[in-house]
A and B are shown apart, each in its own frame.
Chain A
Amino acid sequence: MSADTDVDHDTVPPANKGLLAVAAVLLALPMIALLWVSSYSRKDPELWGFPFFIWYQFLWVFLCSAMTYAAYRLVLKARPHRPMPGHPDHRSREENVR
């Protein structure tokens, strides 16, 4: 019997809480920035003729995309997949032990 057949799967798989917190901040920032309308409902400074109100929100398309991708990498690293009984990795490990 390998150790991981004894795992109680009615638990949350272990994770690096610090990395998850960083990912949470990265995901929260775009929401806070865009819902805080008074921070950007201005006409100036303009950029290439675009009012601040417009180009600032366009800018967040790219920032949000970058932050979401960073969060994706962090989350993958923070919580490695814990195979459940019947998972191919799981089975091969069981066989090795046998």
Chain B
Amino acid sequence: MSTLVPAATGTGGVNGVALSVLIVLFLLVTVMGFWATKWRQADSMESLDEWGLGGRRFGTWVTWFLLGGDLYTAYTFVAVPAAMFALGSVSGFFAVPYTIVLYPIIFIFMARLWSVSHRHGYVTPADFVKGRYGSRSLSVAVSVTGILATMPYIALQLVGIQAVLEVAGVGGSSLLAKDLPLFIAFALLAAYTYSSGLRAPAVIAFVKDALIYLVIIVAVIYLPSKVGGWDHVFSAAEAKMAKPSAANPAKPTGAYIPNAQQYWAYATLAFGSALALFMYPHSITATLSSSSRNTIRRNAAILPAYSFVLGLLALLGWVAIAAGTKPIGLDGKPNAQLVIPQLFEDMFPSWFAGVAFAAVAIGALVPAAIMSIAAANTFTRNIYRDLIKPDATHAQEAKVGKLVSLLVKAFALIFVLTLDKQNAINFQLLGGIWILQTFPAIVAGLYTRWFHRWALLAGWAVGMLYGTITAYKVINPATKGHFGGSLDMIPVIGKMGYIGMTAFVINLVIAAILTVLFNALKVDSGKDETIRGDYFADADDPRVEKNVSMDAHLTTGTP
């Protein structure tokens, strides 16, 4: 307390009313999370299918909420508006085309993945890869990548919760006081995820979406008029982006509208993120928990409602510019990640600021829960059962899954505590660079067995190495730290672009060249357990014989 900084405007001090509302709503959600175990209850939660896929019986609307739960997160509420506020449209608004082109993309291949997973009882993308290519190495590569890439994405959610708590005035400048609220929130999340599995986030998603829509509607109607209308918002943003940058005065602060040098960056960020999103274990989990092949396609037509909301939220970053919001942390330093909670606190009555804080915090918790469950599913099935203990019982699998979901959260916490939080959107882009490297094995595999399994593995390895090294070399102009951004020069084209996309193209080219080589050398291409008809199966088509005895447990939940 002795190190207290002279109170920075607004942030200093606890906002009692807002904090109380936040805590009440938060407790309400926690109670609902525990209650969720009873919802549409199965005989037993002691199987991975029940704990991790909610028994595969979610219809269009529950799936819609679940997908929304993991698509629209602290990324939407905190990271994207913060990027818009600090650096402008190329760094932030690309999220809008990203979440639009996403739906045609998933429309195209997700129904196939659902069908083949239904026929063969696959729960993770790595299950599919193993069945399709008969290659355990490729399946382990896919699952390790999934778990690794999920961690920075969960870390981004933690940054979101921390931002809310910091603006609400929880914490202090000492090391313990600063991080304690974060640990409390995570202990709660961990506890109810542990007992309810995927059911907890599905129930909470309803509350979360209701809160989010309430806050958004109020925010986009009320805030722009309060700061002088959209005209003023856009002119203030244009003026700020044109000013010389603080880190490098030779350059402007950011982009108001992308210029000719930035087209590639904007397009590759949008397209790369869209290709990447449905490779994450959690997105695939949400998809596979739907009840029929076409649920996901119907969803692809109604999900864009979320994209519209995302665009409006992104623009709140520019509303904050017009409002003159000063996001200053408890340590007295400016932190762009605080901009949206700070805007809410400055502009809303305290009680509504509390509601808005709750929306952001719960909006970060739900996806964090879904992500950690999915990463745990992947570990259990594709590493624990395939490599460590092949004869594990279902109860053992469910137990390992629960423990790993805790472990993944702990690793995410380490990301938050060690990496630079100033540009949190970069956490998600970093995850995207990695997860995108599993795209050729998974999606190409849904259509063709032309690619050779070892060629795909080699392509993946080179893509991972190139992506990681290139991203490591990007230096943050403000902090001089590594992993400072996700853009780099695209070879051949000579423009800046998303590193993930470049790595993805290199990955594909290597996989194609080596496929030709390995086929010429007649290297064993592995056994494919799927047939063409499997990719078109629907809910009433039975599972393939070999799995029947095992899956009887999974679908009925009997031990």
**Residues of chain A whose beta carbon lies under 8 Å from any beta carbon of chain B:** 9-13, 27-28, 30-31, 34-38, 41-43, 48-51, 53-54, 57-58, 60-62, 64-65, 67-69, 71-72, 75-76, 79, 81-89
Contact = CB atoms under 8 A, between A and B. Distances in A.
Contact of A79 (B100, B260, B536, B542): B536
Given A82-B533, A84-B533, A49 B297 contact: no
B97 A34 contact: yes
Contacts of A60: 97, 100
B270 interface: yes
Given A27-B107, A30-B104, A49 B231 contact: yes
Interface string B161-188: 0000000000000000000000000000
Interface residues of B, number: 49
B229 A34 contact: no
Nearest to A27: B104
Contacts of A76: 294
6 nearest A-B pairs in the assembled complex, by CB-CB distance: A9-B533, A86-B542, A69-B301, A49-B230, A10-B531, A27-B104
Contacts of B233: 49
B360 interface: no
Given A12-B533, A41-B258, A65-B301, 11 more contacts: A9-B533, A13-B533, A30-B100, A30-B101, A49-B231, A51-B257, A54-B234, A54-B315, A61-B100, A79-B536, A84-B541
Contacts, number: 133
Contacts of B35: none
The SS class assigned to the B binding surface is helix
A61 B304 contact: yes
A68 B107 contact: yes
B66 to A, nearest CB: 19
19 contacts: A9-B531, A10-B533, A12-B532, A28-B104, A31-B101, A31-B105, A35-B271, A49-B230, A49-B233, A61-B304, A64-B103, A65-B302, A72-B107, A75-B297, A79-B536, A84-B533, A84-B541, A86-B541, A87-B542
Contact of B540 (A28, A49, A68, A83): A83
Given A61-B311, A76-B294, A42 B101 contact: no
B72 to A, nearest CB: 14
B36 to A, nearest CB: 30
B79 interface: no
B300 A72 contact: yes
B537 interface: yes
A61 B234 contact: no
A51 B534 CA distance: 48
Contacts of B536: 12-13, 79, 81-82
A48 B260 CA distance: 26
B542 A68 contact: no
A41 B301 CA distance: 26
A27 to B, nearest CB: 4
Nearest to A58: B311
A82 B267 CA distance: 39
B108 interface: yes
A58 B107 CA distance: 20
Contacts of B258: 37, 41, 53
Nearest to B312: A58
Contact of A68 (B229, B301, B305, B541): B301
Contacts of B100: 30, 34, 57, 60-61, 64
A7 to B, nearest CB: 8
B61 interface: no
Contact of B267 (A10, A28, A37, A48): A37
Contact of B298 (A30, A57, A72): A72
Contacts of B231: 49
Contacts of B257: 41-43, 51, 53
B263 interface: yes
Most A CB contacts (10 A, CB to CB) among B230, B262, B302, B536 go to: B536
Most B CB contacts (10 A, CB to CB) among A34, A43, A48, A53 go to: A34
Contact of A88 (B259, B307, B540): B540
B304 A84 contact: no
B209 interface: no
A29 to B, nearest CB: 8
A71 to B, nearest CB: 7
Contacts of B300: 68, 72
A35 B97 contact: yes
B96 interface: yes
B308 interface: yes
A35 B298 CA distance: 24
Interface string B513-555: 0000000000000000001111111101110000000000000
Given A43-B257, A87-B542, A11 B103 contact: no
B283 interface: no
A8 to B, nearest CB: 8
B107 A57 contact: no
B297 to A, nearest CB: 5
B89 interface: yes
B266 interface: yes
A60 B97 CA distance: 8
